[in-house]
Amino acid sequence: MTKILGISAFYHDSAAALIINGEIISAAQEERFSRIKHDSKYPHNAIEFVLKNSNLKLSEIDHIVFFEKPFLKFERLLETYLAFAPKGFKSFSMSMPIWLREKLFQKKFLFDQLKRHDQNFNDIEKINFSEHHYSHAASAFYPSPFKDAVIITLDGVGEWATTTVAIGKDNKIDMLKEIYFPHSIGLLYSAFTYYLGFKVNSGEYKVMGLAPYGEPKYKDTILKKLIDLKDDGSFRLNMKYFNYATGLTMTNKNFSNLFDHKAREPEKELLTQFHMDIAASIQSVTEEIVLKLTKSIAQETKIKNLCMAGGVALNCVANGKILKNNIFENLWLQPASGDAGGSLGAALAFWYHELGEKRSIPSPLDDMKGSYLGPSFKDEHIEKTLVSLGAKFQKYDEEKLINFVVEELKNEKTIGWFQGRMEFGPRALGARSIIADPRSNKMQKELNLKVKFRESFRPFAPSILREDLNDWFDINTDTPYMLLVADVKKNIQIPMNEEDKKLFGIKKLNIKRSSIPAVTHVDYSARIQTVHKETNPKYYKLLKKFKDITGCPILVNTSFNVRGEPIVCSIEDSFRCFMGTNLDILVCENFILFKEEQDKKLLKNYKNQFEKD
Amino acid sequence: MINFLKEFWEFLRERKKYWLFPIIIVLAVFGILIVLSQGSAVAPFIYTIF
């Protein structure tokens, strides 16, 4: 039995993953335990979890793999500073002390931290380093259901690479092409995220959600001035407009002058039609880059399968377009596409690449186990915890619970749904979710403002039974990780009249656009999760029952958290969030809690508890 | 430390980037001086350098 621990840390989204003989056993992000969104610290809690979950001590682990190479990163930093000198001295003087004190000595630092888990761990040579984009590529290809595939990784930056194209065949990954820093599609998107007043590395989803409210008026300007995009999808950015290579901001004065507006001040300035048009423009440019890149690679390699990872692979609108344009026959996306997934990729890369182990043909779905790789809790633990928290609860058997939840969903109740192992990756997939009735007219606004305390423009995603997918949406592919966007079927769309069409921006939100308005975005699109009985049988049963009673096989599924808060992990987290929001019901496994029955003294002012993202 | 230097040297050899070595040395020397100078007798020495 070969046990490999993968670690990603120190930049954003620290995480740990454990594989045993190549099988993915568990994985979790540190933020879920520390309750600090995108926590970048050494993932002590996540490592503790993956070890305990398999009853292992650290000294029993055979190999430990860090997801990137610090020396290579340091080389990039030094060369970038030299290339831009004397510009960037401030950033240089801030980053060098951290590097010279800590980051350069990462092996020793990791060793010291790892020893805290188990004093008997004393072999520093067990620590290995993978490359950032190789880790992403490994996380995208090895768990996929394909024997061979093109692998594309797109993100901000790792060591040098920002975009890579590789070919995966059996247990081998061969890198074909790379684009190097500072030319990066991820950083281009993040620059616009910053310019629109959202947080870099976390607000990118908001830009994507905002885009359908605008018109891509600035697309030509971006393509003419900011980026030199070639027909094969390769590109160079015009660094005259960006400040991220050496500065402390993403964009500079030239960038603001180009669009005739200063960068939006977060929380102070309101979002206007200009911001929506900018969001639409950068989204459209991103889609064009991704489509050009995938088209040229498909033609060049003649391979029918595509795997993707890296932060940009979470851009589900662009992913949907790859599928719609039939560029590849099959598409598989790593659910933990961000840096957290690098921990899993690093471990898998070591197993197949360094140890040369054979790869058996994966199961038809994939090897991710539905991405349910985090902690779960037994009934005794839940009961004890709820009692200690002073909660009032009842315990139902599964059938009664499901019947009851369906009735309450029909009554337009919002429900915290806490079941089984926590998801790995940024999406809630029915294990730590807030669920509601998608047919309700008021649900989108109510969930955004009263439950999630977030911006009213943000859309909600549907979970749907896999077998019913094609009856409701314009797509017929498994999308278990909510990483593809497709349109709601024409027959359930409600066409806009002439007056509705004239509406601009956020006003579009008030029009009912389909028979499932809570999950239909203003452009009739939806970010879909297909639910499969093999990976989440309880959630599947709930959807099936909801369909039997209402005829609708769909539920609203949003992550169980509020704005700025990591998704809940434990029973305590879920009870705290339940008592701090306007959620009506909380379901933890077979335990059910009603808001009106709880002690009023336990209600919390939760809205400003977390730093806004 | 010796292990670190060995690994770093191997890295420079692999990447054929020997020119990084003097930069590292200068950075490390200044780094050490700055750390030592914090409230110590080495402080005046730092001022004479700059």
- Helix/strand/coil (H, E, C) string of chain B? CHHHHHHHHHHHHHHCCCCHHHHHHHHHHHHHHHHHHCCCCCHHHHHHHC
Tokens of A463: 């979970």
Asked whether the beta carbons of residue A75 and residue B31 sit closer than 8 angstroms, the reply is no
**Among A71, A100, A108, beta carbon nearest to B28:** A100
Residue A314, pLDDT score: 92
Q: Is the CB of residue A109 less than 8 Å away from at least one CB of chain B?
A: no
Asked whether the beta carbons of residue B7 and residue A101 sit closer than 8 angstroms, the reply is no
Asked whether the beta carbons of residue A100 and residue B23 sit closer than 8 angstroms, the reply is no
- For range A549-568, the mean pLDDT: 96
- Quick: pLDDT tens for A501-526: 777 777 777 789 999 999 999 999 99
Residue B48, pLDDT score: 54
How does residue A327 score in pLDDT terms, banded at 50, 70 and 90? very high
Residues of chain A with C-beta less than 8 angstroms from the C-beta of B4: 104-105, 107-108
ipTM of the complex: 0.74
Q: How far apart are CA A338 and CA A591, in angstroms?
A: 33
Supply the mean pLDDT for chain A. 94
- Quick: pLDDT tens for A386-429: 999 999 999 999 999 999 999 999 999 999 999 999 999 999 99
- Give the residue range(s) of CATH 3.90.870.20 domains in chain A: 379-602
Q: How far apart are CA A439 and CA A556, in angstroms?
A: 9
Tokens of B4: 């670190």
Q: Above 90 in pLDDT, residue A147?
A: yes
Residue A101, pLDDT score: 81
For domain A179-333, the CATH architecture is: 2-Layer Sandwich (3.30)
For A181: left if phi > 0, alpha if psi spans -120 to 50, otherwise beta; the answer is beta
Q: How far apart are CA A184 and CA A192, in angstroms?
A: 13
Asked whether the beta carbons of residue B31 and residue A96 sit closer than 8 angstroms, the reply is yes
The one-letter amino acid code at A435 reads I
Q: Above 70 in pLDDT, residue A29?
A: yes
Residue B38, pLDDT score: 63
Residue A127, pLDDT score: 97
Residue A552, pLDDT score: 98
Nearest-CA residue of chain B relative to A105?
B4
Residue B43, pLDDT score: 56
Q: Above 90 in pLDDT, residue A451?
A: no
Chain A: nearest CA to B18, how far in angstroms? Answer: 11
CATH topology of domain A379-602: DHBP synthase (3.90.870)
DSSP letter assigned to residue A262: P
- Quick: pLDDT tens for A109-139: 999 999 999 999 999 999 999 999 999 999 9
Residue B45, pLDDT score: 55
Residue pointed to by tokens 């191997």 = B10
The one-letter amino acid code at A490 reads K
Q: Above 70 in pLDDT, residue B49?
A: no
How does residue A98 score in pLDDT terms, banded at 50, 70 and 90? confident
How does residue B37 score in pLDDT terms, banded at 50, 70 and 90? low
Residues of chain B with C-beta less than 8 angstroms from the C-beta of A92: none
Q: How many residues does chain B have?
A: 50
- Give the residue range(s) of CATH 3.30.420.40 domains in chain A: 3-143+335-367, 179-333
Residue B4, pLDDT score: 86
- Quick: pLDDT tens for A209-249: 999 999 999 999 999 999 999 999 999 999 999 999 988 89
Residue A285, pLDDT score: 98
How does residue A91 score in pLDDT terms, banded at 50, 70 and 90? confident
Q: What would you report as the CA-atom Rg of chain B, rounded to the nearest whole angstrom?
A: 14
Asked whether the beta carbons of residue B17 and residue A75 sit closer than 8 angstroms, the reply is yes
Q: Above 60 in pLDDT, residue A544?
A: yes
Residue to substitute from B9, B24, B25, interface A, most A β-carbons within 10 A: B24
The strand pairing partners of A423, in sequence order, are A372
Asked whether the beta carbons of residue B17 and residue A105 sit closer than 8 angstroms, the reply is no
CATH topology of domain A3-143+335-367: Nucleotidyltransferase; domain 5 (3.30.420)
Asked whether the beta carbons of residue B20 and residue A108 sit closer than 8 angstroms, the reply is no
